[in-house]
Chains A and B, each alone.
Chain A
């Protein structure tokens, strides 16, 4: 019922607007079309200035409102480089934006219809066109140069000694795997997967798998100041490891292994203090449409100190041991001693 009323209301508004518009046409024909047109043209010319002012005030208000809500500054070394490059691009495009928008609305206002002024017949000027072909070309050259430098660095090989963690997407959560004491991620293949006791399809013939640690909620434990290389995979459809705080992102593609690396620079605890938000967590968002639960495909990243990391690692049990308790009658909940965890990460 209320829906019907709404439709009627909208229809009524349209009809009223139409009648008002019709009457303005009648006024025009009474006043004389030309006079009416001229008056209206003047008004609309003035409205160009108002429109420009509205835009600028709007942009300013939006900026004022949004800035306190923005995520914190980058928490990785790539991210710091990223933020710098973003600022350079913002300044270049910002200047062009303000200049061209101003000229557009200013010209529209300034050169509105005026019977006493003849429009200038100005059909081309090689000089002007050369200028505004060359200047953007040079600006682009600068942006491309800065961009490619960062791009090749970000996508280049991870530095030696980076810790490796595998992260695998599935509908609709992440699974992470740490290499364990040997520092090697064992082989895995999709036909071995079963959700009961082999979520990643590890090949148990590969001894490197025996000490691999799997965290089923996809939590990543990273060490401040230590480069980390993520080995990324997917079990089903394409997902994407989105690390917005670190300004990194990479697709997880079934059948293909992708990688990304970065060095975290701020621990979670430090970030809580920095943002004044006790609830702060680094989050992994899935950034590639993956189905019904796409929006809920979340995992947490913890950036901690080496000591904290070692303590955490010491408490972990390998996935194999967890699932084959009978083979390890004496298996203690603590598999790897703290110093061996250190060894992996130092490798």
Chain B
């Protein structure tokens, strides 16, 4: 079904009576009132779906963040009683002290929801949906129906995960990587009971959601660009979303297969991952399987997943740094080539998560080489961002601050990857707090900064209102400093060998000297958590009460989304879809006193395309 045909079927009249201006899409169709359900719930409009992804992502970010506050209480104050723990955890925190089973459940679900629900669905789901049609000049996604399904599979995956928090044996508790045999045998841990089944089902649903979304993004980008929007004129955001989707489509099915095999080992008596196990007083019949097989399958997704999280953040940071510096992105082609480099290499480095599994040293050597190669495109990107702001004319808007913060955190977290990717160093650092520090800074916080930058930047387009600036600045400074305070000292703990996923360090001679530090980190984590609630508060208040946007192009940007009405209706452009005549980064004098030339402006006589 073509895009236009779909739109005919789902005719819209967007009522924005409170905005006082006419901004509904598609005047040339007859208008009728759309039911609340088809407009806001089972919507096929990419802009509504993107907001659904974002709001659901925010919900999960609060849940995941709250979990980290709860387990940080235990880490900072082991064995001390907290009312808040018994309030949230009930019998799982007898006397206000968290039970180890639940502690492990919390870290597992914290990791899972932040990686998948927040930084995958909430990030690329939100912005791929919102920006792809708007920035390439399409009325909607190639298949609005699949797009809607993509959201609802995600929502149901979330419901299943949420339900798993309430089962009597607790949620999955083997860490977000859920390695078997721990995750395969219910004798091994309480969380490996029904909680683990729900986890696997939730992941399977999530994979479906991600595939439906990803295929849609790829097809839309390749086929539905407006006249003149050649691939080399696309904003870098779109390039990033394209490669994100390709990564997801090629790697998520492998996670699905890993999950299915694990389900079969759990319930169908197979031995894919199980061999020679004696547990709970008896020897199991399974022989011949390999737990390492699961790790290969998991990390074949797990590593590309890191880039599924990073690439959209990189794309948006590129766009935002350029726009708010009033300068073209430096090295547009190099940026695309480095995205391609990262995408290809992302598939070839998974086993660097497995250097200490007893793998063949030769194989390990190959993965070291390929892993450290990724540093090259990453370095190119960093230097290009630096050169983009060099001699610019920087507006320190909230999105710009977050984009600068993104670059700073990406550098800090990226460089520690050179330690972990080098197997000889990884032997000692593997599964210590060094790893926690590394990936939280680079794919946790820095991706979050990319996401925040995106939300603050495109909020005017999403809701026709601005988010409150002052609160945005407060949010930025607390989060930026706070994140370093939380994660920087963890590098030192890791170098001392302090293992991750420990409930309590106090009985360890080698690690108990960090008690005061752990307290400090916990306090910082709680402060940063509340600063995020400030963002949520700002977000929802601004949706209804924020300052109204009066200029359709408030950031004076070049890309196509700013040529739509302030609040574009279903179909995005009132009249014809605009034609594109130049790339998205012509931030230069247009001859009329403006410092930017939108993509829709034809080249002047004698003007060369970039």
List A residues at the B interface (Cβ < 8 Å): 2-3, 10, 14, 17-18, 20-22, 24-25, 37, 40-41, 44-45, 47-48, 51, 54-55, 58-59, 62-63, 65-66, 69-71, 79, 81-82, 85-86, 89, 92-93, 96-97, 100-101, 103-105, 107-108, 111-114, 117-125, 128-129, 132-133, 136-137, 140, 143-144, 146-148, 150-152, 154-156, 170-171, 189-191, 193, 195, 201, 232, 235-238, 240, 242, 244-245, 247-251, 253-256, 258-259, 279-281, 283, 285-296, 298
| Contact partners of B547 in chain A: CB under 8 A | 25
Contact A111 B390 (CB under 8 A): yes
Q: A289 → chain B, closest Cβ, in Å?
A: 4
Q: A251-B358, A254-B276, A295-B503 are contacts. A112–B394 as well, Cβ < 8 Å?
A: yes
Give the A-B pair count, Cβ closer than 8 A: 377
Minimum CB distance partner of B327 in chain A: A119
Q: A147 → chain B, closest Cβ, in Å?
A: 4
| Contact partners of A195 in chain B: CB under 8 A | 281
Q: Please pick, from A47, A82, A235, A291, the residue contacting B428 in the complex, using a CB distance under 8 A.
A: A82
A2–B96 alpha-carbon span in the complex (Å): 14
Contact B481 A54 (CB under 8 A): yes
Q: Please pick, from A3, A122, A140, A287, the residue contacting B431 in the complex, using a CB distance under 8 A.
A: A287
Q: Please pick, from B387, B396, B422, the residue contacting A45 in the complex, using a CB distance under 8 A.
A: B396
Contact B424 A85 (CB under 8 A): yes
Contact A93 B416 (CB under 8 A): yes
Q: A252 → chain B, closest Cβ, in Å?
A: 9
| Contact partners of B180 in chain A: CB under 8 A | 237
Q: Please pick, from B181, B276, B422, the residue contacting A89 in the complex, using a CB distance under 8 A.
A: B422
Q: A14-B533, A17-B471, A151-B361 are contacts. A41–B278 as well, Cβ < 8 Å?
A: no
Q: B595 → chain A, closest Cβ, in Å?
A: 7
Minimum CB distance partner of A140 in chain B: B372
A-B contact pairs, 16 of them (CB 8 A): A41-B396, A44-B396, A48-B404, A105-B408, A108-B396, A113-B395, A121-B328, A124-B333, A125-B330, A148-B424, A235-B278, A285-B508, A287-B430, A287-B432, A288-B179, A289-B179
| Contact partners of A86 in chain B: CB under 8 A | 419, 425, 495
Contact A244 B276 (CB under 8 A): no
Interface size on B, residues (CB 8 A): 130
A22–B357 alpha-carbon span in the complex (Å): 56
Contact A17 B509 (CB under 8 A): no
A238–B175 alpha-carbon span in the complex (Å): 13
Q: A111 → chain B, closest Cβ, in Å?
A: 5
Contact A248 B418 (CB under 8 A): no
Contact B488 A93 (CB under 8 A): no
Q: Please pick, from B276, B390, B394, B497, the residue contacting A285 in the complex, using a CB distance under 8 A.
A: B497
| Contact partners of B185 in chain A: CB under 8 A | 236-237
Most chain B beta carbons < 10 A, residue from A71, A104, A124, A289: A289
Q: A21-B468, A291-B188 are contacts. A101–B408 as well, Cβ < 8 Å?
A: yes
Which parts of B503-562 form the interface with A (CB within 8 Å)?
A: 503-505, 507-511, 513-514, 517, 530, 533-534, 537-538, 541, 547
Q: Please pick, from A93, A128, A258, the residue contacting B387 in the complex, using a CB distance under 8 A.
A: A128
Contact B488 A58 (CB under 8 A): yes
Contact B392 A111 (CB under 8 A): yes
Contact A236 B501 (CB under 8 A): no
Does B326 lie at the interface of the complex (its beta carbon under 8 Å from any beta carbon of A)? yes
Q: Please pick, from A133, A156, A296, the residue contacting B507 in the complex, using a CB distance under 8 A.
A: A296
Does B166 lie at the interface of the complex (its beta carbon under 8 Å from any beta carbon of A)? no
Q: Please pick, from A59, A154, A256, A280, the residue contacting B509 in the complex, using a CB distance under 8 A.
A: A280
Minimum CB distance partner of B328 in chain A: A123
A288–B468 alpha-carbon span in the complex (Å): 45
Q: B298 → chain A, closest Cβ, in Å?
A: 13
Does B307 lie at the interface of the complex (its beta carbon under 8 Å from any beta carbon of A)? no
Q: A107 → chain B, closest Cβ, in Å?
A: 5
Q: A18-B468, A129-B380 are contacts. A152–B502 as well, Cβ < 8 Å?
A: no
A211–B19 alpha-carbon span in the complex (Å): 87
Contact A71 B382 (CB under 8 A): no
Contact B379 A132 (CB under 8 A): yes
| Contact partners of A45 in chain B: CB under 8 A | 394, 396
Q: A86-B419, A119-B392, A119-B587 are contacts. A147–B376 as well, Cβ < 8 Å?
A: no
Further contacts, 5 of them, CB under 8 A, given A190-B277, A255-B287: A120-B391, A147-B423, A152-B361, A283-B510, A289-B179
Contact A242 B504 (CB under 8 A): no
| Contact partners of B62 in chain A: CB under 8 A | none
Contact A123 B393 (CB under 8 A): no
A111–B331 alpha-carbon span in the complex (Å): 19
Q: Please pick, from A89, A122, A235, the residue contacting B390 in the complex, using a CB distance under 8 A.
A: A122
Contact B415 A259 (CB under 8 A): no
Most chain A beta carbons < 10 A, residue from B104, B281, B502: B502
Q: A121-B328, A124-B334, A283-B508 are contacts. A69–B514 as well, Cβ < 8 Å?
A: yes
| Contact partners of B418 in chain A: CB under 8 A | 89, 92-93, 140, 143
Does B401 lie at the interface of the complex (its beta carbon under 8 Å from any beta carbon of A)? yes
Does B119 lie at the interface of the complex (its beta carbon under 8 Å from any beta carbon of A)? no
Stretch at the interface among B144-152, B206-214, B289-297, B449-457: B289-297
A-B pairs, 4 with minimum CB distance? A244-B497, A255-B275, A258-B358, A21-B470
Q: A66 → chain B, closest Cβ, in Å?
A: 4
Q: A148 → chain B, closest Cβ, in Å?
A: 5
| Contact partners of B380 in chain A: CB under 8 A | 129, 132-133, 136
Does B270 lie at the interface of the complex (its beta carbon under 8 Å from any beta carbon of A)? no
Contact A295 B504 (CB under 8 A): yes
A144–B386 alpha-carbon span in the complex (Å): 26
Q: A2-B83, A107-B386, A289-B174 are contacts. A55–B484 as well, Cβ < 8 Å?
A: yes
Contact A171 B188 (CB under 8 A): yes
| Contact partners of B427 in chain A: CB under 8 A | 82, 154, 247-249
Q: A153 → chain B, closest Cβ, in Å?
A: 8
A54–B510 alpha-carbon span in the complex (Å): 31
Which parts of B77-106 form the interface with A (CB within 8 Å)?
A: 83-84, 87, 100-101, 104
Contact A245 B530 (CB under 8 A): no
| Contact partners of A189 in chain B: CB under 8 A | 276
A245–B508 alpha-carbon span in the complex (Å): 13
Minimum CB distance partner of B416 in chain A: A93
Minimum CB distance partner of A42 in chain B: B396
Does B356 lie at the interface of the complex (its beta carbon under 8 Å from any beta carbon of A)? yes
| Contact partners of B510 in chain A: CB under 8 A | 71, 244-245, 281, 283, 285
Q: B480 → chain A, closest Cβ, in Å?
A: 7
A338–B310 alpha-carbon span in the complex (Å): 61
Does B364 lie at the interface of the complex (its beta carbon under 8 Å from any beta carbon of A)? yes
Q: Please pick, from B278, B328, B541, the residue contacting A236 in the complex, using a CB distance under 8 A.
A: B278
Interface string of B176-210 (1 = CB under 8 A from A): 01011110010011100000000000000000000
Q: Please pick, from B356, B419, B431, B534, the residue contacting A17 in the complex, using a CB distance under 8 A.
A: B534
Q: A277 → chain B, closest Cβ, in Å?
A: 8
Q: A164 → chain B, closest Cβ, in Å?
A: 16
Does B18 lie at the interface of the complex (its beta carbon under 8 Å from any beta carbon of A)? no
Minimum CB distance partner of A51 in chain B: B480
Does B496 lie at the interface of the complex (its beta carbon under 8 Å from any beta carbon of A)? yes
Contact A298 B358 (CB under 8 A): no
Q: Please pick, from B291, B396, B489, the residue contacting A238 in the complex, using a CB distance under 8 A.
A: B291
Contact B357 A253 (CB under 8 A): yes
Q: A103-B386, A123-B330, A133-B376 are contacts. A255–B290 as well, Cβ < 8 Å?
A: yes
